Amino acid sequence: MPSTSEPRSHAEAAVEVRGLAKRFGEVEAVAGIDFEVGEGEFFGFLGPNGAGKTTTINMLTGLARPDQGVIRIAGIDCSRNPKAAQHLMGVVPDESNLWPELDGFENLCFCGALYGMARRSREKRARELLETVGLADAARRRFGGYSKGMKRRLTIAAGIIHLPRILFLDEPTTGIDVASARHIRRVIADLNAGGTTIFLTTHYIEEAERLCGRIAFIVEGRLVRVDSLANLVRDVQDRRVVQLALGRDPAEMLGPLRQTFPGIEFEPVTGDALRAHTAHTLPLAPLIRFFEERGVDVTEANVIRPSLEEVFVCITGVALDRMRKEKEQSKRDGGVT
Ligand SMILES: Nc1ncnc2c1ncn2[C@@H]1O[C@H](COP(=O)(O)OP(=O)(O)OP(=O)(O)O)[C@@H](O)[C@H]1O
Ligand SMILES: [Mg+2]
Protein backbone atom coordinates (compact mmCIF):
# COMPACT_ATOMS: atom_id res chain seq x y z
CA MET A 1 0.00 0.00 0.00
CA PRO A 2 1.28 3.48 -0.75
CA SER A 3 1.75 5.57 2.36
CA THR A 4 -0.39 8.68 2.48
CA SER A 5 -0.64 11.62 4.79
CA GLU A 6 -3.61 13.87 5.05
CA PRO A 7 -3.66 17.23 3.27
CA ARG A 8 -2.86 20.25 5.43
CA SER A 9 -6.35 21.68 5.39
CA HIS A 10 -9.33 19.82 6.78
CA ALA A 11 -11.81 22.05 4.99
CA GLU A 12 -13.41 20.78 1.78
CA ALA A 13 -10.72 19.44 -0.55
CA ALA A 14 -9.83 21.64 -3.53
CA VAL A 15 -9.28 18.47 -5.57
CA GLU A 16 -10.61 15.03 -4.74
CA VAL A 17 -9.86 12.05 -6.97
CA ARG A 18 -11.25 8.54 -6.53
CA GLY A 19 -10.43 5.54 -8.73
CA LEU A 20 -9.30 7.68 -11.66
CA ALA A 21 -8.18 5.63 -14.66
CA LYS A 22 -7.44 5.99 -18.35
CA ARG A 23 -5.86 3.74 -20.94
CA PHE A 24 -4.70 4.33 -24.48
CA GLY A 25 -5.06 0.96 -26.17
CA GLU A 26 -2.60 -1.35 -24.45
CA VAL A 27 -1.13 1.41 -22.30
CA GLU A 28 -2.62 1.85 -18.84
CA ALA A 29 -1.67 5.54 -18.58
CA VAL A 30 -3.46 6.09 -15.24
CA ALA A 31 -4.34 2.93 -13.38
CA GLY A 32 -6.90 3.90 -10.75
CA ILE A 33 -5.53 6.59 -8.46
CA ASP A 34 -6.92 8.27 -5.33
CA PHE A 35 -5.74 11.46 -3.69
CA GLU A 36 -6.84 14.78 -2.28
CA VAL A 37 -5.42 18.27 -2.42
CA GLY A 38 -6.46 20.59 0.40
CA GLU A 39 -7.60 24.16 -0.15
CA GLY A 40 -4.55 26.45 -0.31
CA GLU A 41 -1.99 23.65 -0.69
CA PHE A 42 1.00 23.69 -3.02
CA PHE A 43 0.85 20.14 -4.34
CA GLY A 44 3.56 18.53 -6.46
CA PHE A 45 2.93 15.66 -8.86
CA LEU A 46 6.20 13.95 -9.75
CA GLY A 47 7.22 10.89 -11.69
CA PRO A 48 9.44 9.62 -14.50
CA ASN A 49 8.67 10.23 -18.20
CA GLY A 50 5.47 8.58 -19.34
CA ALA A 51 4.30 7.96 -15.74
CA GLY A 52 0.86 9.49 -16.36
CA LYS A 53 1.25 13.07 -15.07
CA THR A 54 -0.07 14.90 -18.14
CA THR A 55 -2.87 12.38 -18.59
CA THR A 56 -3.93 13.01 -14.97
CA ILE A 57 -3.79 16.81 -15.31
CA ASN A 58 -5.74 16.61 -18.56
CA MET A 59 -8.50 14.62 -16.88
CA LEU A 60 -8.60 16.94 -13.85
CA THR A 61 -8.96 19.99 -16.08
CA GLY A 62 -11.52 18.57 -18.49
CA LEU A 63 -9.12 18.22 -21.45
CA ALA A 64 -9.41 14.43 -21.44
CA ARG A 65 -12.24 12.13 -20.44
CA PRO A 66 -11.54 9.55 -17.73
CA ASP A 67 -12.41 5.91 -18.42
CA GLN A 68 -13.29 5.51 -14.76
CA GLY A 69 -13.33 7.43 -11.52
CA VAL A 70 -14.67 10.52 -9.85
CA ILE A 71 -13.12 14.00 -9.81
CA ARG A 72 -14.43 16.69 -7.48
CA ILE A 73 -13.18 20.24 -7.67
CA ALA A 74 -14.10 22.16 -4.49
CA GLY A 75 -16.83 19.59 -3.95
CA ILE A 76 -18.25 19.89 -7.49
CA ASP A 77 -18.49 16.62 -9.41
CA CYS A 78 -16.77 17.34 -12.74
CA SER A 79 -18.73 14.80 -14.73
CA ARG A 80 -22.05 16.31 -13.55
CA ASN A 81 -21.18 19.98 -13.64
CA PRO A 82 -18.03 20.53 -15.73
CA LYS A 83 -18.72 24.24 -16.44
CA ALA A 84 -18.97 25.19 -12.77
CA ALA A 85 -15.79 23.25 -11.98
CA GLN A 86 -13.92 24.86 -14.86
CA HIS A 87 -14.70 28.35 -13.61
CA LEU A 88 -12.86 27.56 -10.39
CA MET A 89 -9.69 26.37 -12.10
CA GLY A 90 -6.93 27.77 -14.24
CA VAL A 91 -4.82 25.62 -16.53
CA VAL A 92 -1.30 26.03 -17.85
CA PRO A 93 -0.87 23.10 -20.23
CA ASP A 94 2.52 21.68 -21.24
CA GLU A 95 1.99 23.03 -24.78
CA SER A 96 0.78 26.58 -25.22
CA ASN A 97 -2.90 26.96 -26.10
CA LEU A 98 -2.85 30.65 -27.11
CA TRP A 99 -3.33 32.33 -30.48
CA PRO A 100 -0.14 33.13 -32.42
CA GLU A 101 -1.66 35.92 -34.55
CA LEU A 102 -2.96 37.88 -31.54
CA ASP A 103 -0.67 40.05 -29.43
CA GLY A 104 -0.14 39.48 -25.71
CA PHE A 105 -2.83 41.91 -24.58
CA GLU A 106 -5.39 40.60 -27.08
CA ASN A 107 -4.71 37.01 -26.07
CA LEU A 108 -5.40 37.79 -22.41
CA CYS A 109 -8.53 39.81 -23.20
CA PHE A 110 -9.81 37.02 -25.39
CA CYS A 111 -9.29 34.46 -22.59
CA GLY A 112 -11.10 36.80 -20.18
CA ALA A 113 -14.01 37.02 -22.63
CA LEU A 114 -14.20 33.22 -22.79
CA TYR A 115 -14.73 33.23 -19.02
CA GLY A 116 -17.50 35.81 -19.41
CA MET A 117 -15.57 38.76 -17.94
CA ALA A 118 -16.87 42.23 -18.83
CA ARG A 119 -14.70 44.23 -21.23
CA ARG A 120 -13.45 46.81 -18.74
CA SER A 121 -12.54 44.28 -16.10
CA ARG A 122 -10.76 41.93 -18.51
CA GLU A 123 -8.74 44.81 -20.01
CA LYS A 124 -7.76 46.05 -16.57
CA ARG A 125 -6.82 42.55 -15.44
CA ALA A 126 -4.87 41.92 -18.68
CA ARG A 127 -2.78 45.04 -18.09
CA GLU A 128 -2.09 44.07 -14.48
CA LEU A 129 -1.13 40.54 -15.45
CA LEU A 130 1.23 41.67 -18.20
CA GLU A 131 3.07 43.58 -15.45
CA THR A 132 3.00 40.60 -13.09
CA VAL A 133 4.60 38.25 -15.60
CA GLY A 134 7.07 40.89 -16.85
CA LEU A 135 5.61 41.28 -20.34
CA ALA A 136 4.29 44.85 -20.25
CA ASP A 137 6.81 45.89 -22.92
CA ALA A 138 5.78 43.01 -25.19
CA ALA A 139 2.03 43.56 -24.76
CA ARG A 140 1.50 44.65 -28.36
CA ARG A 141 3.75 42.08 -29.98
CA ARG A 142 2.38 38.98 -31.71
CA PHE A 143 2.39 35.93 -29.43
CA GLY A 144 3.79 33.86 -32.31
CA GLY A 145 6.98 35.94 -32.19
CA TYR A 146 7.56 35.51 -28.43
CA SER A 147 10.47 33.45 -27.09
CA LYS A 148 9.68 30.17 -25.32
CA GLY A 149 10.00 31.73 -21.86
CA MET A 150 7.78 34.69 -22.82
CA LYS A 151 5.18 32.30 -24.25
CA ARG A 152 5.12 30.32 -21.03
CA ARG A 153 4.76 33.49 -18.96
CA LEU A 154 1.82 34.69 -21.05
CA THR A 155 0.23 31.23 -20.85
CA ILE A 156 0.37 31.52 -17.06
CA ALA A 157 -1.20 34.99 -17.18
CA ALA A 158 -3.97 33.56 -19.39
CA GLY A 159 -4.48 30.71 -16.92
CA ILE A 160 -5.15 33.10 -14.04
CA ILE A 161 -7.07 35.88 -15.81
CA HIS A 162 -10.35 34.81 -14.15
CA LEU A 163 -8.82 34.58 -10.64
CA PRO A 164 -9.14 30.80 -10.30
CA ARG A 165 -9.09 29.18 -6.85
CA ILE A 166 -7.02 26.28 -8.16
CA LEU A 167 -4.21 26.48 -10.70
CA PHE A 168 -2.93 23.42 -12.58
CA LEU A 169 0.51 23.73 -14.17
CA ASP A 170 2.09 21.05 -16.34
CA GLU A 171 5.86 21.57 -16.34
CA PRO A 172 5.72 25.36 -16.48
CA THR A 173 9.51 25.81 -16.33
CA THR A 174 10.71 23.05 -18.64
CA GLY A 175 12.96 24.13 -21.51
CA ILE A 176 12.90 27.89 -20.90
CA ASP A 177 15.51 30.48 -19.95
CA VAL A 178 16.66 30.79 -16.33
CA ALA A 179 15.23 34.29 -15.82
CA SER A 180 11.77 33.30 -17.09
CA ALA A 181 11.80 30.15 -14.94
CA ARG A 182 12.70 32.19 -11.88
CA HIS A 183 9.98 34.71 -12.68
CA ILE A 184 7.41 31.93 -13.07
CA ARG A 185 8.37 30.32 -9.75
CA ARG A 186 7.96 33.67 -8.03
CA VAL A 187 4.55 34.28 -9.62
CA ILE A 188 3.19 30.87 -8.58
CA ALA A 189 4.67 31.13 -5.07
CA ASP A 190 2.96 34.54 -4.69
CA LEU A 191 -0.34 33.13 -5.95
CA ASN A 192 -0.11 30.33 -3.40
CA ALA A 193 0.75 32.81 -0.64
CA GLY A 194 -2.42 34.69 -1.64
CA GLY A 195 -4.51 31.53 -1.13
CA THR A 196 -4.59 29.90 -4.59
CA THR A 197 -4.27 26.12 -4.53
CA ILE A 198 -1.45 24.98 -6.81
CA PHE A 199 -1.13 21.61 -8.56
CA LEU A 200 2.27 21.39 -10.24
CA THR A 201 4.09 18.79 -12.30
CA THR A 202 7.77 19.33 -12.86
CA HIS A 203 10.91 17.46 -13.82
CA TYR A 204 13.00 19.71 -11.62
CA ILE A 205 13.20 18.04 -8.25
CA GLU A 206 14.85 21.10 -6.71
CA GLU A 207 11.93 23.22 -7.84
CA ALA A 208 9.47 20.85 -6.18
CA GLU A 209 11.57 20.84 -3.02
CA ARG A 210 11.60 24.60 -2.92
CA LEU A 211 7.91 25.14 -3.62
CA CYS A 212 5.72 22.18 -2.67
CA GLY A 213 4.20 21.39 0.69
CA ARG A 214 3.05 17.91 -0.28
CA ILE A 215 4.06 15.62 -3.11
CA ALA A 216 2.56 12.64 -4.91
CA PHE A 217 4.82 10.24 -6.79
CA ILE A 218 3.33 8.47 -9.79
CA VAL A 219 5.08 5.54 -11.48
CA GLU A 220 3.58 3.66 -14.42
CA GLY A 221 0.12 5.08 -13.74
CA ARG A 222 0.07 4.23 -10.03
CA LEU A 223 0.56 6.47 -7.02
CA VAL A 224 3.39 5.00 -5.00
CA ARG A 225 3.58 7.63 -2.28
CA VAL A 226 1.79 10.82 -1.23
CA ASP A 227 3.36 12.67 1.66
CA SER A 228 4.44 16.02 3.03
CA LEU A 229 7.81 17.32 1.90
CA ALA A 230 8.99 17.29 5.52
CA ASN A 231 8.18 13.58 5.93
CA LEU A 232 9.74 12.68 2.60
CA VAL A 233 12.98 14.43 3.34
CA ARG A 234 13.09 13.10 6.92
CA ASP A 235 13.20 9.57 5.48
CA VAL A 236 16.47 10.19 3.68
CA GLN A 237 17.99 12.56 6.21
CA ASP A 238 20.05 9.83 7.81
CA ARG A 239 21.44 8.54 4.53
CA ARG A 240 25.03 9.40 3.82
CA VAL A 241 25.83 10.67 0.39
CA VAL A 242 29.34 11.48 -0.82
CA GLN A 243 30.33 12.65 -4.27
CA LEU A 244 33.84 11.78 -5.43
CA ALA A 245 35.54 13.61 -8.28
CA LEU A 246 37.76 11.18 -10.17
CA GLY A 247 40.24 11.69 -12.94
CA ARG A 248 38.54 9.04 -15.04
CA ASP A 249 35.10 7.73 -16.08
CA PRO A 250 34.06 5.33 -13.27
CA ALA A 251 31.87 3.11 -15.52
CA GLU A 252 34.22 0.12 -15.68
CA MET A 253 34.93 0.21 -11.95
CA LEU A 254 31.26 -0.03 -10.93
CA GLY A 255 31.21 -3.85 -10.90
CA PRO A 256 34.26 -4.29 -8.64
CA LEU A 257 33.09 -1.35 -6.45
CA ARG A 258 29.72 -2.96 -5.82
CA GLN A 259 31.39 -6.25 -5.07
CA THR A 260 33.86 -4.72 -2.63
CA PHE A 261 31.29 -2.47 -0.88
CA PRO A 262 27.99 -4.38 -0.91
CA GLY A 263 26.17 -2.02 1.50
CA ILE A 264 26.75 1.04 -0.70
CA GLU A 265 24.91 2.17 -3.81
CA PHE A 266 27.03 3.77 -6.53
CA GLU A 267 25.75 6.07 -9.21
CA PRO A 268 27.93 7.72 -11.88
CA VAL A 269 27.51 11.50 -12.20
CA THR A 270 28.52 13.61 -15.21
CA GLY A 271 32.09 14.94 -15.29
CA ASP A 272 33.88 11.73 -14.18
CA ALA A 273 32.31 11.80 -10.75
CA LEU A 274 30.64 9.16 -8.65
CA ARG A 275 27.99 9.31 -5.94
CA ALA A 276 28.05 6.83 -3.09
CA HIS A 277 24.92 6.44 -0.92
CA THR A 278 24.29 4.36 2.12
CA ALA A 279 22.03 4.17 5.13
CA HIS A 280 25.06 3.07 7.21
CA THR A 281 28.46 4.59 7.89
CA LEU A 282 30.36 5.42 4.73
CA PRO A 283 33.90 3.97 4.77
CA LEU A 284 35.57 6.92 3.08
CA ALA A 285 39.21 5.89 3.59
CA PRO A 286 38.78 2.35 2.14
CA LEU A 287 36.87 3.89 -0.77
CA ILE A 288 39.69 6.29 -1.59
CA ARG A 289 42.21 3.46 -1.22
CA PHE A 290 40.18 1.37 -3.68
CA PHE A 291 40.72 4.03 -6.34
CA GLU A 292 44.35 4.69 -5.48
CA GLU A 293 45.16 1.00 -5.85
CA ARG A 294 43.81 1.25 -9.41
CA GLY A 295 45.84 4.35 -10.19
CA VAL A 296 42.82 6.69 -10.08
CA ASP A 297 43.14 9.96 -8.18
CA VAL A 298 40.26 11.12 -6.01
CA THR A 299 40.61 14.87 -6.48
CA GLU A 300 37.61 15.84 -4.33
CA ALA A 301 35.21 14.23 -1.86
CA ASN A 302 32.10 16.24 -1.02
CA VAL A 303 29.45 15.31 1.50
CA ILE A 304 26.04 15.98 -0.08
CA ARG A 305 23.02 16.94 1.99
CA PRO A 306 20.38 14.29 1.22
CA SER A 307 17.53 15.98 -0.61
CA LEU A 308 14.30 15.26 -2.41
CA GLU A 309 16.41 13.97 -5.29
CA GLU A 310 17.44 10.97 -3.17
CA VAL A 311 13.77 10.48 -2.26
CA PHE A 312 12.80 10.53 -5.93
CA VAL A 313 15.50 8.06 -6.92
CA CYS A 314 14.66 5.74 -4.03
CA ILE A 315 10.87 5.86 -4.46
CA THR A 316 10.60 5.77 -8.23
CA GLY A 317 13.57 3.43 -8.69
CA VAL A 318 12.28 0.95 -6.13
CA ALA A 319 8.73 1.24 -7.46
CA LEU A 320 9.79 0.69 -11.07
CA ASP A 321 11.85 -2.30 -10.06
CA ARG A 322 9.02 -3.81 -8.01
CA MET A 323 6.43 -3.25 -10.77
CA ARG A 324 8.67 -4.88 -13.38
CA LYS A 325 9.17 -7.89 -11.10
CA GLU A 326 5.43 -8.15 -10.42
CA LYS A 327 4.73 -8.02 -14.16
CA GLU A 328 7.31 -10.73 -14.89
CA GLN A 329 5.86 -12.84 -12.09
CA SER A 330 2.31 -12.49 -13.38
CA LYS A 331 3.50 -13.36 -16.90
CA ARG A 332 5.15 -16.52 -15.54
CA ASP A 333 1.92 -17.34 -13.71
CA GLY A 334 0.02 -16.89 -16.94
CA GLY A 335 -1.87 -13.87 -15.56
CA VAL A 336 -2.94 -10.78 -17.46
CA THR A 337 -0.32 -8.04 -17.46
N1 LIG B 1 -2.97 10.53 -26.76
C2 LIG B 1 -2.28 9.42 -26.44
N3 LIG B 1 -2.32 8.33 -27.21
C4 LIG B 1 -1.65 7.21 -26.88
N5 LIG B 1 -0.90 7.07 -25.78
C6 LIG B 1 -0.79 8.14 -24.96
C7 LIG B 1 -1.47 9.37 -25.25
N8 LIG B 1 -1.20 10.25 -24.26
C9 LIG B 1 -0.38 9.61 -23.41
N10 LIG B 1 -0.14 8.35 -23.81
C11 LIG B 1 0.70 7.34 -23.11
O12 LIG B 1 0.28 7.30 -21.77
C13 LIG B 1 1.39 7.20 -20.88
C14 LIG B 1 1.39 8.38 -19.93
O15 LIG B 1 1.70 9.56 -20.66
P16 LIG B 1 1.74 11.01 -20.01
O17 LIG B 1 1.91 11.99 -21.11
O18 LIG B 1 0.57 11.17 -19.11
O19 LIG B 1 3.08 10.92 -19.13
P20 LIG B 1 3.85 12.06 -18.33
O21 LIG B 1 4.02 11.55 -16.95
O22 LIG B 1 3.18 13.36 -18.51
O23 LIG B 1 5.28 12.04 -19.05
P24 LIG B 1 6.32 13.24 -19.34
O25 LIG B 1 7.13 13.34 -18.08
O26 LIG B 1 7.13 12.71 -20.45
O27 LIG B 1 5.55 14.46 -19.67
C28 LIG B 1 2.62 7.11 -21.79
O29 LIG B 1 2.93 5.74 -21.96
C30 LIG B 1 2.16 7.75 -23.07
O31 LIG B 1 2.87 7.22 -24.16
MG1 LIG C 1 3.81 15.21 -19.33
Residue 131 clears pLDDT 80, i.e. is over it: yes
What per-residue confidence (pLDDT) applies to 148? 93
User: Confidence band (pLDDT; 50, 70, 90) for 308?
Assistant: confident
User: Confidence band (pLDDT; 50, 70, 90) for 2?
Assistant: very low
Name the residue of 27, 45, 199, 224 whose CB sits within 8 Å of the most ligand 1 atoms, as the mutation to test its pocket.
27
What per-residue confidence (pLDDT) applies to 334? 58
Whether 239 contacts 303, CB under 8 Å: no
Query: Across-strand partners of 89?
Result: 166
pLDDT tens digits, one per residue of 71-120: 999 999 999 999 999 999 999 998 888 999 999 999 999 999 999 999 99
Question: 27: CA distance to ligand 1 center in Å?
Answer: 9
Identify the sign of the CA torsion 179, 94, 41, 35. Answer: negative
Q: Tell me the average pLDDT of the chain.
A: 89
What per-residue confidence (pLDDT) applies to 3? 45
- AA identity, residue 88: L
What per-residue confidence (pLDDT) applies to 139? 97
Residue 284 clears pLDDT 80, i.e. is over it: yes
Say whether 196 sits in a helix, a strand or coil: coil
User: CATH 3.30.70 spans which residues of the chain?
Assistant: 239-305
Superfamily for the 3-234 domain: P-loop containing nucleotide triphosphate hydrolases (3.40.50.300)
Residue 325 clears pLDDT 70, i.e. is over it: no
What per-residue confidence (pLDDT) applies to 283? 86
User: CATH 3.40.50.300 spans which residues of the chain?
Assistant: 3-234
Share of the chain above pLDDT 90, in %: 70
What per-residue confidence (pLDDT) applies to 144? 96
Residue 103 DSSP code: B
Instruction: Give every CB contact of residue 64 below 8 A, 6+ residues apart in sequence.
Output: 22, 55, 58
Instruction: Give every CB contact of residue 19 below 8 A, 6+ residues apart in sequence.
Output: 32, 33, 34, 68, 69, 70
User: Confidence band (pLDDT; 50, 70, 90) for 11?
Assistant: low
The mean pLDDT value for 257-281 works out to: 87
Whether 224 contacts 321, CB under 8 Å: no
Instruction: Give every CB contact of residue 255 below 8 A, 6+ residues apart in sequence.
Output: none
> pLDDT: is 282 or 108 the higher one?
108
> pLDDT: is 318 or 86 the higher one?
86
What per-residue confidence (pLDDT) applies to 163? 93
Instruction: Give every CB contact of residue 243 below 8 A, 6+ residues apart in sequence.
Output: 269, 273, 274, 275, 276, 300, 301, 302, 304
Q: Which atom, in ligand 1's list, is nearest to the CA of 57?
A: 18
User: Confidence band (pLDDT; 50, 70, 90) for 268?
Assistant: confident
Question: 171: CA distance to ligand 1 center in Å?
Answer: 14
Question: 128: CA distance to ligand 1 center in Å?
Answer: 35
The mean pLDDT value for 196-207 works out to: 93
Report the C-alpha gap between 287 and 133 in whole angstroms.
49
Residue 32 clears pLDDT 90, i.e. is over it: yes
DSSP calls for 207-232: HHHHH-SEEEEEETTEEEEEEEHHHH
Nearest Cα residue to 297 out of 332, 272, 320, 277:
272
- AA identity, residue 58: N
Give backbone dihedrals phi and psi of 26, rounded to 5 degrees, phi first.
Answer: -75, -20
Question: 173: CA distance to ligand 1 center in Å?
Answer: 19
Pairing of strands 298-304, 240-246: antiparallel
Domain 239-305 indexed as CATH 3.30.70: yes
Query: What are the angstrom distances between the C-alpha of 24 and each of 30, 217, 221?
Result: 9, 21, 12
Nearest Cα residue to 122 out of 130, 114, 113:
113
Name the residue of 22, 53, 219 whose CB sits within 8 Å of the most ligand 1 atoms, as the mutation to test its pocket.
53
Identify the sign of the CA torsion 48, 55, 35, 85. Answer: positive
Neighbours of 119 (CB within 10 A): 10
Give residue ranges with CB within 6 A of ligand 1: 24, 27, 29, 47, 49-55
